[in-house]
A and B are shown apart, each in its own frame.
Chain A
């Protein structure tokens, strides 16, 4: 965001704080492309980007009295956007954690309950359920949700190295568990 735009947005926000609705509408309309770009760099899906952007717009509205016109508008706005994105990622993580891993697996693979591969999937589901919660979470996000290591690291609060180690150990454990299951058969 260059300084001319920054100054314009700052002036509009100052007027919006005083109750100028026209300036406020201009401001909110103008910031959307910046927010879409910022949130889009963190996410993949278009609908989800708009959901988070709207959360950010609502937060800007609710917290507009905290903006000080002597400070850069961009930094203020991006700080709100970053927090809203982190909140969104946490909500999503909690939602995923509530889902049974096997259901997500079936959804991802798209199998019918009567298909021949269903028994193999049941074995995989049992093996998956025996992983540690951390390994399950990391593998689910990386392999079933398609998140990058960086995104998982950001969302779970672990370092990227820790995410990689968890995933690696999870794959090894899955391999052993599946090998044991095939020996039993």
Chain B
């Protein structure tokens, strides 16, 4: 097919389009919905000593690390939904947030009696359930987004959703041992975010072979 013929086809298919809302606005909507979801979840099961623990530096640092990871990842995920908006910071900042969270866990490991592992399947399941709901909300808001860098966008949205879920879980789980946090909180966040990246890539990222007649999908 010649370029001219393709242009004729594209032009004949051109209907008015509803412009995608700016990434910042969609990110705000997602944050509001996610925070409402997590607040509702917390209302049923916050740990009894939450107020007391919030006065401890390590607990606050841990929470801040997670919050930063979630916010920066959400910002990056929505930035990647529009061509040309991303920069090296889009990829670097969520990684910095993840590093801060891991550093906060490492700092906790230096504390006495911090290596209590405990079985925390409930924590992992809670993170998976809450994070998946939040992820689905995010995917709905991203459904009209561009399919460039779909794997990365899926990864960051996954990190944001599951980090928020881990934050809610942190506020309800009474175990503070670093092994427990690493195995039952951190690992599920990373693994589930990886799955979100794979899902996004297989849904949108692998559709790179664009047939000449597929443009109107």
Q: Is A68 an interface residue (CB 8 A)?
A: yes
- Chain A, interface SS category: helix
Interface flags, B146-160, vs A, CB<8A=1, else 0: 111100000000000
Contact A54 B17 (CB under 8 A): no
**In chain A, what residue has the closest Cβ to B81?**
A66
Are B6 and A57 in contact (CB-based, < 8 A)?
Answer: yes
Q: Which residues of A contact B140 (CB under 8 A)?
A: none
Please report the number of residue pairs spanning A and B whose Cβ atoms sit closer than 8 angstroms.
Answer: 91
Instruction: Check if A128 is an interface residue, CB within 8 A of chain B.
Output: no
Q: In the bound complex, do residue B10 and residue A66 qualify as a contact, i.e. CB atoms below 8 Å apart?
A: no
A157 CB to nearest chain B CB (Å): 13
* A75–B20 alpha-carbon span in the complex (Å): 17
**Complex formed: what's the CA distance from A29 to B43 in Å?**
58
**Docked-complex contact A19 and B148, CB < 8 angstroms:** no
In which size bucket is the chain B interface? Answer: 35 or more
Contacts of B14 on A, CB cut-off 8 Å?
A: 16, 19, 21, 24, 61
A71-117 with Cβ < 8 A to chain B = 71-72, 75-80, 83, 87-88, 90-91
* Min CB gap B26→A, angstroms: 11
B contact patch SS: loop
Q: How far is the CB of A34 from chain B (nearest CB, A)?
A: 13
Which residues in A have some Cβ–Cβ distance to B below 8 Å?
Answer: 16-19, 21, 24-25, 28-29, 32, 50, 53-55, 57-59, 61-68, 71-72, 75-80, 83, 87-88, 90-91
On B, residues with C-beta under 8 Å from A are 1, 3, 6-8, 10-20, 22, 81-85, 144-149, 208-210, 212, 214-215, 217
Q: 13 additional contacts, CB 8 Å, given A68-B19, A71-B85?
A: A16-B14, A24-B11, A29-B7, A50-B3, A58-B214, A59-B210, A64-B17, A66-B81, A66-B145, A68-B22, A71-B84, A77-B83, A80-B146
